Amino acid sequence: MKRLRWLLLLLPPLALAWGLFAWGQRPLEVSLARPERDVPLRVFGLGTVEAQILTRIGFEVAGTLVALEADHGDRVSRGALLARLNDTSQRARIARAEASVQNAEAQQGRVAAIAERATATYAQKRSLAQRRRELANRGSGSLEAAEIAETEALTAAADLAVARADIIVAQAVLADARANLQAERGTLAKHSLAAPFDALVIARNREVGTAVQPGEVIFTLVAPGSLWALAHVDEARAGHLREGQPAEIRLRSLPGEVFPARVVRIGLESDRVTEERRVYLRCERCPERPVLGEQLQVEIETGRLPEARLVPEAAITGFDGAEGRGWVLEGGTLHHRPLRFTGRTLDARLVLDPAMPEVVTRVLPGFREGRAARASP
């Protein structure tokens, strides 16, 4: 009777234990990676709006601003006047340089006239010396008179040489005066600041009445057609980036709008600290008024797969970019196997190598090597 009572007492715990054991051994229902069609492969990047052509311009000379012809947000044409400096002193220098040129021209005329007179005098003295020498040789004239005439001819020749040298000096003085005048006019032109290209004025840094120094920035200009997006993409995901690939840009100020774009340049040097690659994109439909430096995010499509099996990255352990370990269903039981992958999607799913077996996409409690399982419908 005692044994029966003990048996009756032990029967419920034994039944419960057996039930729990049987429940633990039941085949688990697992979800497997199924083929999906037209799978896009994209990479993600963060960046800013930048300009390929950006110029900060100022005057090459010092002076006081007397006029500003452009302001923030204006569009200006190439050669358009942007600003002017006070040029009163410079115009006075030009007047003085012009006077120096006139003086040098007059001096050159005077020297040329002296040279002509010296030429005529030399010709006369030489002719006279020749006649008196002929008379002296025939005995009809004085030998002394012939020698005096020859000396005067030599003196006239020296005077002519001096006159010709003075002409060269006068020409040099005139050339110097003209060069100085040209330099002063060039300096006057530097008192006006013109747009170097068709541009959008991003910033005006000085106002009328300000004394500025050479090289001080007055305006910041960008070429409107040179705006692009600079995105930073993780090196681990940048291997399949190519120029010309389509992309989508979302600005921080317009999160609800998508701007189509294409990759136009891929940096050849990665950032050694952040381990990111610089990618430049130009939008095909741009915002009306882009703002330099505004943050943005990009999604670049690096390819499309006609068909692929995808596994969440969370279901894989030890993933190194190409391989990892995951659970597979073989012969009705679970096994932890090394797996190979050929790509990664933007939503953190991995593209299985076609040669891989059936892979479980969600790891459940109770997974162990050899556990019975079946695919869920």
Class of domain 35-51+223-375 (CATH, top level): mainly beta
What average pLDDT does the chain have? 87
Give Cα separations from 221 to 31, 66, 98, 192, 295 (angstroms).
Answer: 58, 20, 36, 16, 20
pLDDT tens sequence across 307-316: 999 999 999 9
Given pLDDT bands bounded at 50, 70 and 90, which one contains residue 183? very high
Indicate the pLDDT class of residue 266, thresholds 50, 70 and 90: very high
Residue 376 has pLDDT above 60, yes or no: yes
Of all residues in the chain, the percent with pLDDT exceeding 90 is 51
pLDDT computed for residue 135 by the predictor: 74
Q: Distance between CA atoms of 170 and 104, rounded to whole angstroms?
A: 7
Cα(365)–Cα(47) distance, rounded to whole angstroms?
Answer: 41
Assign 3-class secondary structure to 287-350.
CCCCCCCCEEEEEEEEEEEEEEEEEEHHHCECCCCCEEEEEEEECCEEEEEEEEEEEECCCCEE
Average pLDDT for residues 99-113, to the nearest whole number?
91
pLDDT band at 1 (very low <50, low <70, confident <90, very high): low
**Which pLDDT score, from 0 to 100, does residue 9 have?**
58
pLDDT at 130: 81
> What is the structure's pLDDT at 126?
81
Q: What pLDDT band is residue 20 in, cutting at 50, 70 and 90?
A: very low
Out of 74-78, 118-122, 215-219, pick the least confident: 118-122
Mean pLDDT of 117-132: 81
By C-alpha distance, which of 48, 52, 46, 76 is closest to 227?
52
Please say if the pLDDT value at position 7 is more than 70.
no
CATH number listed for the domain at residues 64-86+191-222: 2.40.50.100
Give a three-class secondary structure readout of 96-151. HHHHHHHHHHHHHHHHHHHHHHHHHHHHHHHHHHHHHHHHHHHCCCCHHHHHHHHH
Higher pLDDT, 14 or 318: 318
Section 96-115 average pLDDT: 91
Q: Distance between CA 162 and CA 184 in Å, rounded?
A: 33
Mean per-residue pLDDT for 292-311? 92
Please give the pLDDT value at position 19. Answer: 45
Bridge pairing between strands 373-375 and 28-30? parallel
Q: Indicate the pTM of the whole model.
A: 0.69
Provide mean pLDDT across the span 184-210.
93
pLDDT band at 73 (very low <50, low <70, confident <90, very high): confident
